[in-house]
Amino acid sequence: MPELPEVETIRRDLAPLLTGRQVVGVDVIDGKAVRQPEMDRFIEGLKGQVIEGVRRRGKYLLLPLSSGQTLVVHLKMTGALLWRPAGYPPDPHTRAVWRLDQGQEIRFADTRRLGNLWLVDAPALDSLIGELGPEPLDPSFTPQVLAARLGRRSAPIKATLLDQTMVAGLGNIYADESLWEAAIQPLRPAAKLATPEVTRLHEAIGQVLSRALANRGTSFSDYRDAQGRPGANQGHLRVYGRAGQACYRCGAIIQRMVLRGRSSYFCSTCQE
DNA sequence: CAATCAACCTGGGTGC
DNA sequence: TGCACCCAGGTTGATT
């Protein structure tokens, strides 16, 4: 489910709530969620730790701890991090719980069980997220940076945008939205985009992600924020999920095709 | 290296 | 009702 705007919404909600809180207990309900061999080290490494902040890199949430280790969370398709008072009614598909020192807890809920948790030291954190591409909302992400990265990729631009080592944080919804906004056809080879097209795409990515963030993310089905509430950006999508409906720009019928096993929505008339 | 595809999971929706 | 299929916001490991 969550792409950059959804993960960032959760981060912004959780940061003031979690910073300075101590973990007093850990319950792992589904051991498969924890991506490391020794469960004891995961649990014991968290107990007693103070959470020093909530950060994000691409679609990863990073919770640095007083020990110097970092709790890393990837929500994949259906994961959620829920901030709940102790005794709050159970959330379905809760896989792990961290109990905190002021009576609240964080619950990791994940219907499809694809999400992952790690407790890592600095070198392991680097190998986990070190290959990620630039943050698309960072000022250092310029059209020139994007152009250089697309440079010699012959794969379709849509597939290239989904590659997290190219740009970190775009997923299936916002890749389609960005390509529609820039009026670029998803199958175009990445390296063949002309400079003005790359400039348009860069602008579109920033616009699409910023708007989604302002709307607290897109809840097409599962996504929920840290309080369990849906986002509002689904009402602002321009192309994703609109197969058979009229293009907002030219009125032609929006098409759906399968590219790399993922649905892609586009206008075959005004995306060239 | 770059590109592709199956695999990892569960649940909701649809059509027979 | 039941059942078979298709679909879903993501990544990764094996294979060309």
Name the CA dihedral angle for A130, A132, A133, A137, rounded to a multiple of 10 degrees.
-110
Q: Are A145 and A201 in contact (CB under 8 A)?
A: no
The token pair at A217 is 């993310």
Q: Answer whether residue A18 shows pLDDT above 90.
A: yes
Q: Identify the residue whose Cα has the smallest distance to the C1' of B2.
A: A153
Strand ranges of the sheet holding A55-57, from the earlier edge strand across to the other edge: A55-57, A60-64, A70-74, A116-120
Q: Calculate mean pLDDT across residues A250-263.
A: 95
Which pLDDT does position A211 carry in this prediction?
98
A216-235 confidence digits (pLDDT tens) = 999 988 999 999 999 999 99
A43-88 confidence digits (pLDDT tens) = 999 999 999 999 999 999 999 999 999 999 999 999 999 999 999 9
A199-212 confidence digits (pLDDT tens) = 999 999 999 999 99
A258: nearest nucleotide, CA–C1' criterion: C7
Q: Are A146 and A202 in contact (CB under 8 A)?
A: yes
Q: Answer whether residue A1 shows pLDDT above 80.
A: no
A262 CB below 7 A from strand B atoms: no
For residues A177-210, one letter each, b for 16 or more C-beta atoms within 10 angstroms of the residue's C-beta and e for the rest, the string is bbbbbbbbbbebebeebeeebbbbbbebbeebbe
DSSP code for A221: S
A263 CB below 7 A from strand B atoms: no
Our answer to whether residue A229 is catalytic in this structure is no
